[in-house]
Chains A and B, each alone.
Chain A
Amino acid sequence: MIEFILLVNKQGQTRLSQYYNSYTVKERVLLEGELVRKCLSRTQKQCSFFNHQQFKVIYRRYASLYFIIGINSDEDINELSMLEFIHNTVETLDRYFENVCELDIMFNIEKAHFIIDEMIMNGCILETNKESVLTPLKAIMKASK
């Protein structure tokens, strides 16, 4: 089970976050800050996993954006599969926004959430087929026009 997924830029500003368990605002701000610092201190050559507090952290960097997934340490996960899943998420966002960038996500935060909600539900992977993820969103956008 995924505990949280974060999109954070190099300046340490969170652009999207979904937590699947309750955290207070304070806890989140602290955690996000520490995670970004750790990610920033790692080079491209270093591996994409590290432990932070009770979490196994899996992250991938895309230009100036870090996609970070946290999973409880006692959970037996397939880190490589998670890494693929991050990429899958990014590709899905990319397909919808066409060359997705930080600003797309900022100004369309609702849609970004919608996409993530179609892919992860309560920390479980729901859908990896990009078309299946995007069809409901496209349908809704069409209907609301």
Chain B
Amino acid sequence: MSTMKLKEFIKAIRNCKQAKDERAVVSKESALIRNAFKEKNPKNRHRNIAKLLFVNLLGYPTQFGQVETIKCVASDDYTEKRIGYMALSQLMNESSELLMMVTQAIKNDLNSSKSNFIVALGLTSIAEISTEDMCRELYTEVKKLMRSTSSYIKKKAILAAVRIIKNIPDTIDDFMEVIDVLINEHSHSITLATMTLIQEIINIEPERVGTFRKYTKVLIKILKNLIHSGYAPEYDIQGIKDPFLQVRIIRVLGHLGEGNEDASDDMNDILTEIATSTEGSKGAANSILYECVRAIMLIEASSGLRALGINILGRFLVNKENNIRFIALTNLHKLVNIDYNAVQRHKTTVIGCLKDPDLVIKKEALDLIYQICKNTNVKGIVKELLNFLLTAEKEFKEDLANKICMAVEKYSPTKKWHVDTVIKVLTLAGSEVMDNFICSLITLIASTAELQNYSVNKTYFSMKENLEQSGLQQLGVWLIGEFGELLVSGQTMEMDDTPINVTEEEAVETIEKVMEHYKDKGDKGDVIIQYSLVALSKLTIRFESMKGKIQELIQNQVHNPNIEIQQRACEFMKLIDEDWDQHRLAIFEPMPFQGDENMLVDATERAVREEGEGDEDDLTQLKREAAPAQTHVPEESPLDDIFGINYDQQDESPDDNFDPLGDIFGGMGTDAPAPPSDPVSDPLGDIFGGGSATASASSGLGSDIFGGSPASQTPSDLFGSAPSAPAAPTYIAHEDSNIKVLFNFERDSMDSSTHRITAVYTNKSSSVLDSINMQISVKKYLNLQLFAVSSSSLQPMPTEQVTQEMKIQNTHEGKDPIVLRARITYTHVASGQKVVETKVLEGLPTGY
């Protein structure tokens, strides 16, 4: 069977309806061509190689034709030679070992005296496929041909030289003198090729610019002549004289003027002329103007010329054609570092580009807008960007949301604005925002006490309405976990001064909803579930009343298919267990943040959490308000200490393999950054502030942690070293016919300014006393921690006692005495009489 004609073959391919038909036709024909090559019959060789070109185009292998291609190249017949060379560029590449075989054939052709066309074929193959070895072999021929009398040969020889200098940079020297001659040739194509060669030399050896600078005046003259030449129909495009050549020359001039005043001065006039007199709204004119702007930005342009260039970009920016606007945007981008103000002037127009339906334009504009951002204008710009975020399509939303976050992080003038803006972005495009922006916002809030209440409330209400925005949920869940008590405090006012009332139950329900929503939603959803688990666990100490519900929610995750969630859930379940009652408080204590330096301008101030929460009235509030001013988290992170003590306690823990803290913090891998934990030499001493410098700064934080829960033992009991305190003085705080309240004083073993007071209630009546409670308010210099009464009711027996612990730190110890205002309430069950006693307690014992 003989092979088809080229036309028949192409028709056969065109008739194929399916890819598999095409494959069949191609493989059949390829097999036939291979056989024809084997028979060494040169009759249809030319036709078969042409078919291979087509096969190659379709994306099928053609290696079997390479040897035949080389035979064609060496053929005496021009038609065969031509198709051979064509196949050489198309079917073979530099790495092909067979190429060495054609070197001699090419050399012969370069020296051919038969026809210029044959020489040209040789030059083309050098330009397109030559290897380093081939270049060495052939470059003397090429150099000679660069001086050919035929411009057809000459232009191809110049471009072949471009390939040679790339392969063998040493040869550049050899070509320099030829360029001296070529530069004075008056031919469009020779000048064009010469410009390409010069540009390539500059690319390879930038220091050669100095040598080429001598051509500045010649090039200016060529350019001038070109612009003022008469009508040349073959080179005119849309009324512009050879725009391709103009662009090329201006490009080289730009290089020559870069960093050189003299050369720049020389070209000032011609560039001004081109920038002002190139007319036409079509592509050709704009391509020249564009090149001109680039040269102006590169050289040491005069201020007038620079203004001209910037004006051109301004005009481009309002052009109705997208291509031109794209160019304007990319170049303004380059200009930002050179002339910020000039770019900044176009701010409004650039922002307007975000309305463009073309994504390419929008992205370019967004990049530029980000570049324009500064501390001073970021608010205005971001406000506009947020409007666009509202309507942005999916593909653009991600870019836009993250760029806003970037701008906010970098330039935000205030922390409040930072918080507001990122929450807004999260509300609009929370699922597109990258994790790192959420984490840094968490760090910011956690390290800025005055924003915590605001942030948790704001986020809480936004997250409830935007369940889809995963980023917002992530933030919200973390905030509820960390600052839940601020959310339910009832202290936050709405705009119209009505208090916001969120109950503990509602807060936990919100987390429940989030968990429900993000169940089985892939990796992103799993991250949110993990955040939720951590938050819920933290809430066990903040919302005591919700412990049961929380336990239930965590229990639900124990069988989660995600192993990470499953493990966390199991661990947290264990932590809720009463075995851990004493330690839970320490574990879930608010996290002290060290954050980024630039975010922690203000020292972190945080209220020490009170245990006596739940009975909110004006008295305790007084105390609560007073607290933050008095206490502050030490600079040294107590977290390290917490780590330390728990590692130590492992031996005592019910399950030896259970390393709760490691896991908790491991589980929060995606959570906010924990401060680096340095090795702690004496963790026990540190946590209880034993003589270390952190003791006073931490206001007895260590003891807070363990002295916290009312039922717990005192820290000294815990570790068996009874304090060697003298007999504790007592003080009768209140006595009436029904009740006696006696204060037992005890100085804190570590901190002499801290007094531990145990109030002992005894029933003097014959009736049960119920609803026993005492609230205490203190002056600002006193720091009070009041715990709940051990029981709210008292049987009518003198042996029966109810105790209530409190801790008072006197920051004016030795100067001002401790003065308390107490409100004691109880109900005399027999008579139903409700007693409220308010009194000032003065003259409390000191100096014990």
Contact = CB atoms under 8 A, between A and B. Distances in A.
Given A80-B283, A81-B287, A45 B322 contact: yes
Given A18-B90, A50-B360, A87 B283 contact: yes
Interface string A36-75: 0000001101111110000000000000000000000000
A84 B128 contact: no
Contacts of B78: 140, 143-144
A78 B244 CA distance: 10
A22 B127 contact: no
A15 B287 contact: no
Contacts of A25: 56, 59-61
A56 B57 CA distance: 22
B358 interface: yes
Contacts of A139: 117
A49 B83 contact: no
A85 B79 CA distance: 29
Contact of A80 (B89, B235, B327): B327
Contacts of A14: 57-59
Contacts of B325: 47
A77 B79 CA distance: 36
B326 A78 contact: no
B127 A15 contact: no
A133 to B, nearest CB: 10
Interface string A5-37: 000000000111110111001001100100000
B560 interface: no
A127 interface: yes
Nearest to A22: B93
Interface string B157-201: 001101100000000000000000000000011001100100000
Nearest to B63: A25
Interface in A82-134: 83-85, 87-88, 106-107, 109-110, 113-114, 117, 121-122, 124-132
A113 B192 contact: no
B290 to A, nearest CB: 5
B533 interface: no
B554 interface: no
B86 A79 contact: no
A20 B128 contact: yes
Interface in B90-104: 90, 93-95
Nearest to B94: A22
Contacts of A42: 358
B358 A110 contact: no
Contacts of B716: none
A107 B284 CA distance: 32
Interface string B241-259: 0111101000100000000
A125 B244 contact: yes
A107 B53 CA distance: 12
B734 interface: no
Given A14-B57, A49-B326, A121 B156 contact: yes
B235 to A, nearest CB: 6
A113 B58 CA distance: 15
Interface string B611-643: 000000000000000000000000000000000
A102 B99 CA distance: 33
B95 A128 contact: no
B825 interface: no
A49 to B, nearest CB: 6
B191 to A, nearest CB: 12
B86 A107 contact: no
A141 B96 CA distance: 31
Contacts of B822: none
B676 interface: no
Interface residues of B, number: 67
Given A80-B287, A126-B189, A127-B155, A107 B94 contact: no
A48 B323 CA distance: 6
B54 A84 contact: no
B63 to A, nearest CB: 9
A124 B193 contact: yes
A126 B117 contact: no
A14 B54 CA distance: 10
B460 to A, nearest CB: 42
B358 A78 contact: no
Contacts of A121: 124, 127-128, 156, 159-160
B406 interface: no
Nearest to B193: A126
Contacts of B117: 136, 139-140
Contacts of B50: 109-110
A47 B234 contact: no
Contact of A127 (B160, B189, B284, B359): B189
Contacts of B83: 110
B248 to A, nearest CB: 8
A78 B360 CA distance: 17
A143 B251 CA distance: 40
Interface in B112-137: 117, 120, 124, 127-128
Contact of A79 (B14, B58, B251, B323): B323
A29 B117 CA distance: 32
B7 interface: yes
B361 interface: yes
A77 B294 CA distance: 10
Contacts of A140: 78, 82, 117
Contacts of B155: 126-127
A85 B237 CA distance: 11
A80 B90 contact: no
B10 interface: yes
A80 B244 contact: no
Given A22-B95, A81-B244, A113 B61 contact: no
Nearest to A41: B359
A78 B128 contact: no
A78 B291 contact: yes
B828 to A, nearest CB: 83
B360 A46 contact: yes
Select the residue from A22, A122, A131, A132 with max chain B CB neighbours within 10 A.
A122
Nearest to A87: B283
A72 to B, nearest CB: 12
B196 A125 contact: yes
Contacts of A143: 78
A78 B199 CA distance: 14
B357 interface: yes
A117 B123 CA distance: 11
A131 B234 contact: yes
B360 A47 contact: yes
Nearest to A86: B283
Contacts of B284: 84
A81 B189 contact: no
Contact of B159 (A50, A87, A122, A131): A122
B750 to A, nearest CB: 65
Nearest to A128: B244
B152 interface: yes
B286 interface: yes
Contacts of B188: 128-129
11 contacts: A22-B94, A47-B358, A78-B287, A84-B284, A121-B128, A122-B159, A125-B244, A128-B189, A128-B245, A129-B188, A136-B120
Given A80-B287, A124-B193, A124-B196, 12 more contacts: A14-B58, A25-B59, A47-B322, A47-B361, A81-B247, A84-B244, A113-B86, A121-B160, A122-B162, A126-B155, A126-B189, A139-B117
Interface of A: 14-18, 20-22, 25, 28-29, 32, 42-43, 45-50, 76, 78-81, 83-85, 87-88, 106-107, 109-110, 113-114, 117, 121-122, 124-132, 136, 139-140, 143-144
Name the 4 nearest CB pairs between A and B, nearest first. A22-B93, A80-B287, A47-B322, A29-B59
Interface of B: 6-7, 10, 14, 50, 53-54, 56-61, 78-79, 82-83, 86, 89-90, 93-95, 117, 120, 124, 127-128, 152, 155-156, 159-160, 162-163, 188-189, 192-193, 196, 234-235, 237, 242-245, 247, 251, 283-284, 286-287, 290-291, 294, 322-327, 357-361
